[in-house]
């Protein structure tokens, strides 16, 4: 080891080279391991947020263009890498041959060549790219199904318009659509039921993204966007908020459930129905829900056409998941959630049980066992079970 004198004793040099080589090997091994782990995350049937496995017309067009650009980029990449290696070997300094190679400055043919060739390559990439951008923004077909998508912190509301004499349907986190039919998603961050836009009822910026169906599109307060897409195959596709929007952004997922036209219509009809059990029929559980714990300040279980502060729960039990697709909907998880939602998904919820007013910043679902504000009742497990059993009947 160096002794601080600044000199290296004979014998130490070898040790140090060995040490740094070992260090380099360790670093290399660690790098490869990390790479392998990251790459492993890209495959497997469980990862369904995969834009390389398109299941929608629009996603397929994007994927085709992507592959086309990958081929061109790979050819250019190989050309550059080979050129660098060849130049490095051919013109390297050698014993007895240490002067600069012949300089080519001012060679007109070369300069014109390496200006024109990249310009042509860029044009070949740009023309189909710009064309596809325009094509993806074509107006929706008249047969398209309109679905309003409202970005909230941190969940998604889906609204189906009233039509054919039926009422509007408001649901959360699971978007049902028919296969093969174009969907015209109207993306908004403002909910007129909660205030008057652009100042009231608006949320922060989110981004709607279902990688297997189409690219991302921002959900911007005060500026509604639209995104059209057509699913080619029945199945469940995973979506994700793709614009950082606060504490639980990473958990702000959703599902797109693609069904046959008949199944979809049946689902929509069922969603239009009233609740399977009314608050009154629910008896004690109904009182706990509406009176004792004030769940109805933020939710409704009575009317699936209403947009309220929290997810519409009129048909909660018809969903596979809850909490923006984070949890499978089952009794145990639901009870835990009702007791203490913020412990399951990060939320700024401590003040959500206080009466709204200046200084009360409330984003999310409150805990009914922790941080209970003075004068507000704490929930027992038995009460949570009762409420859960009531909610699980609402299919
Ligand atoms: Cu978001």
For tokens 């140090």, name the residue.
16
Give the Å distance between the CA of 131 and the centre of ligand 1.
29
Give the Å distance between the CA of 60 and the centre of ligand 1.
25
User: Taking all residues of the chain, what is their mean pLDDT, rounded to a whole number?
Assistant: 89
Going by C-alpha positions, the residue among 335, 156, 183, 179 that lies closest to residue 251 is: 156
Distance separating alpha carbons of residues 67 and 60, to the nearest angstrom: 10
Distance separating alpha carbons of residues 377 and 20, to the nearest angstrom: 63
The yes-or-no verdict on residue 260 having pLDDT over 60 is yes
Mean pLDDT of the 175-179 span: 97
Work out the pLDDT band at 42, boundaries 50, 70, 90: low
What percent of the chain has pLDDT above 70?
A: 92
Pick the residue with more confidence: 363 or 69? 69
Give the Å distance between the CA of 248 and the centre of ligand 1.
8
Q: Which residues surround ligand 1, an ion (CB under 5 A)?
A: 206, 241, 245, 252
Q: Phi/psi of residue 59, each to 5°?
A: -65, -35
Work out the pLDDT band at 95, boundaries 50, 70, 90: confident
Q: Which range, 7-16, 253-262, 359-368, has the best average confidence (pLDDT)?
A: 253-262
Structure confidence by residue, pLDDT tens digits, 123-169 = 999 999 999 999 999 999 999 999 999 999 999 999 999 987 789 99
Helix (H, G, I), strand (E, B) or coil at 239: strand
Give the Å distance between the CA of 97 and the centre of ligand 1.
62
pLDDT of residue 1: 46
Give the Å distance between the CA of 158 and the centre of ligand 1.
14
Give burial (CB, 10 Å; 0-12/13-18/19+) of 11: exposed
**The token pair that represents 278 in the structure block:** 């009314």
What does DSSP assign to residue 290? I
Structure confidence by residue, pLDDT tens digits, 195-244 = 876 667 888 999 999 999 999 999 999 899 999 999 999 999 999 999 99
What does DSSP assign to residue 289? I
Q: What are the structural domains, with CATH classification, of the chain?
A: 49-88+110-270 (2.60.40.420), 284-391 (2.60.40.420)
The yes-or-no verdict on residue 351 having pLDDT over 90 is no
Mean pLDDT of the 359-388 span: 90
Helical pair 331-340 and 381-391, crossing angle rounded to 10 deg: 120
């Amino acid at each position: 080891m160096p002794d601080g004198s600044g000199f290296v004793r004979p014998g130490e040099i070898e040790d140090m080279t060995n040490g740094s080589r070992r260090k380099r090997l360790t670093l290399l091994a660690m790098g490869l391991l990390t790479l392998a782990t990251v790459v492993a995350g890209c495959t497997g049937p469980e990862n369904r947020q995969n834009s390389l496995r398109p299941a929608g017309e629009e996603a397929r067009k994007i994927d085709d263009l992507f592959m086309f650009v990958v081929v061109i980029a790979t050819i250019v990449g190989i050309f550059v890498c080979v050129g660098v290696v060849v130049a490095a070997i051919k013109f390297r300094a050698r014993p007895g041959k240490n002067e600069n190679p012949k300089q080519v400055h001012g060679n007109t043919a070369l300069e014109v060549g390496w200006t024109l060739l990249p310009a042509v390559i860029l044009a070949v990439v740009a023309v189909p790219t710009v064309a596809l951008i325009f094509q993806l923004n074509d107006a929706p077909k008249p047969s398209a199904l309109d679905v309003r998508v409202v970005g909230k912190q941190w969940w998604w509301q889906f609204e189906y318009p009233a039509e054919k004499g039926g009422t509007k349907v408001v649901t959360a986190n699971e978007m049902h659509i028919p296969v093969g039919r174009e969907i015209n998603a109207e993306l908004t961050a403002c909910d007129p039921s909660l205030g008057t836009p652009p100042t009231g009822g608006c949320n922060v910026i989110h981004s709607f993204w279902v990688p297997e169906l189409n690219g991302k599109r921002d959900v911007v307060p005060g500026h509604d966007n639209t995104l059209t897409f057509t699913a080619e195959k029945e199945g469940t596709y995973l979506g994700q908020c793709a614009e950082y929007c606060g504490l639980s952004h990473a958990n702000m997922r959703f599902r797109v459930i693609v069904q046959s036209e008949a199944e979809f219509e049946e689902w929509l009809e069922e969603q239009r129905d009233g609740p399977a059990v009314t608050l009154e029929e629910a008896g004690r559980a109904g009182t706990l829900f509406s009176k004792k714990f004030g769940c109805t300040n933020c939710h409704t279980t009575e009317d699936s056409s209403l947009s309220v502060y929290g997810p519409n729960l009129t048909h909660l039990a018809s969903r596979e998941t809850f909490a923006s697709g984070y949890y499978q909907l089952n009794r145990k998880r639901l009870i835990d959630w009702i007791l203490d939602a913020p412990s399951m998904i990060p939320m700024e919820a401590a003040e959500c049980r206080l009466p709204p007013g200046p200084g009360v910043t409330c984003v999310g679902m409150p805990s009914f066992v922790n941080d209970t504000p003075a004068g507000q009742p704490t929930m027992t497990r038995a009460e949570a079970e009762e409420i859960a059993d009531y909610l699980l009947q609402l299919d």
